[in-house]
Structures are given as C-alpha cells and as structure tokens.
C-alpha cells in the first residue's frame, strides 16, 4: 500500500476479484477488446468492473496530493490519469506500486507510458470519448442501459457482489 493511501483515515484495502484483473490481462492492450467484453457482460458485471477499476486506482494515491518530478508538477487530473494507467497495466504492475516495489515517480516515467500504451480504437462510435481502459465501462454502460455508471457506483449504498 502506498504511503498516501495509508495516510487516508477512511482507507480500507479493497478486495479486488481475480475476474477483474483477468479481464484487463485478456484484453490488453486493445480498448476495443475490453469494449467487446463489457458489451457481452451482464449489467452488474459492467458496474462492478467500473467500481473495481476506480477502487484499484484510488488505492494508489490521493489524487489531490500530486507529485513533483523534476520541474513537472502533477495536478489532481494528472494523478488520476497516472493511477488509471497503473491499473491498466495489470495486477502485477499495480501490486508492485501498492507494495512499494515501484514508486509513483517511477511509474510516471514517460518512457513507461510510451512502451505500455493501449490502442484506443473502439468499435461503437457512441463510445468515442471513453477510449481508455478506465473509461470504456462508462461508455458501454450509458449506451447499453441509458444510465451514468458514476451515479450507480458512487452511490453510498452501492456494494459489488461478494
């Protein structure tokens, strides 16, 4: 667990299911493959995928804390993007940051981004604008169910299946 996450008094380490990581690994590095998987998944699975993606990302750092790399300051949005990218690299990479084997500074190396980029093409034009592993569940949820995924998973009463 990162120091930032450990400092958050409300933080509780989440149980992230194997199927979540398996979906990322099986579709990496093509957003269209993840899109197809989500299009075939039941509604609750799309919800849970979005929930677990956000949970895994938030375990890495408090977005508002930012980091400084040389002369570059990471904003809250930059931190969110970095944490989402780390999750998109799969369980082993994510776990290495959680365990402190790799720092956020190391993960933020531009060479890593360039070498581990997802192909952002999607099959459904309605999903343009959601062309990332962290965003595609939101586009799929809207196009399939006509609801905003954030409104579902951000509800205080929402709980994924055990």
Torsion over CA: 24, 17, 1, 68 (sign): positive
Tokens 């399939």 — which residue? 144
The pLDDT value recorded for residue 74 is: 86
Classify 68 as helix, strand or coil: strand
* Alpha carbon distance 59, 51 (integer Å): 12
Q: In the predicted model, what is the mean pLDDT of residues 110-120?
A: 84
Average pLDDT over residues 65-82: 85
Instruction: Please answer whether residues 129 and 136 qualify as being in contact, where contact means their C-beta atoms are separated by less than 8 angstroms.
Output: no
pLDDT in tens, 131-141: 999 999 999 99
Indicate the pLDDT class of residue 91, thresholds 50, 70 and 90: very high
Give me the pLDDT at residue 14, please.
Answer: 59
Cα separation of 32 and 120, whole Å?
A: 7
Terminus-to-terminus CA distance in the chain, angstroms?
A: 22
Percent pLDDT > 90 in the chain is 72
pLDDT of residue 59 exceeding 90: yes
Dihedrals phi, psi of 158, to nearest 5 degrees: -70, 135
pTM of the model: 0.88
The per-residue pLDDT for 98 is: 96
2-37 pLDDT, tens digit per residue, is 444 433 333 344 589 999 999 999 999 999 999 999
Query: In the numeric block, which tokens belong to residue 27?
Result: 């579709």
Cα 102 to Cα 107: distance, rounded to the nearest angstrom: 7
* Dist. CA 159–CA 162, nearest whole Å: 8
Question: CB-side exposure of 20: number of CA atoms within 13 Å?
Answer: 28
Residue with tokens 């990162």: 2
The token pair at 79 is 């931190």
d(CA 162, CA 145): 23
């Amino acid at each position: 667990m990162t120091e930032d996450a450990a400092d958050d008094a409300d933080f509780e380490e989440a149980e992230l299911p194997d199927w979540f990581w398996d979906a990322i690994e099986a579709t990496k590095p093509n957003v269209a493959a993840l899109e197809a998987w989500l299009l075939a998944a039941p509604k609750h699975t799309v919800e849970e995928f979005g929930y677990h993606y956000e949970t895994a990302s938030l375990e890495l750092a408090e977005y508002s804390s930012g980091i400084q790399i040389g002369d570059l300051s990471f904003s809250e949005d930059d931190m969110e993007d970095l944490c989402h990218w780390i999750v998109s690299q799969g369980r082993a990479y994510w776990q290495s940051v959680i365990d402190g084997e790799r720092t956020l500074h190391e993960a933020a190396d531009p060479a890593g981004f360039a070498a581990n980029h997802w192909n952002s093409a999607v099959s459904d034009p309605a999903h343009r604008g959601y062309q990332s592993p962290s965003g595609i569940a939101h586009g799929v949820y809207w196009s399939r169910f006509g609801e905003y995924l954030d409104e579902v998973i951000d509800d205080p009463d929402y709980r994924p299946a055990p």
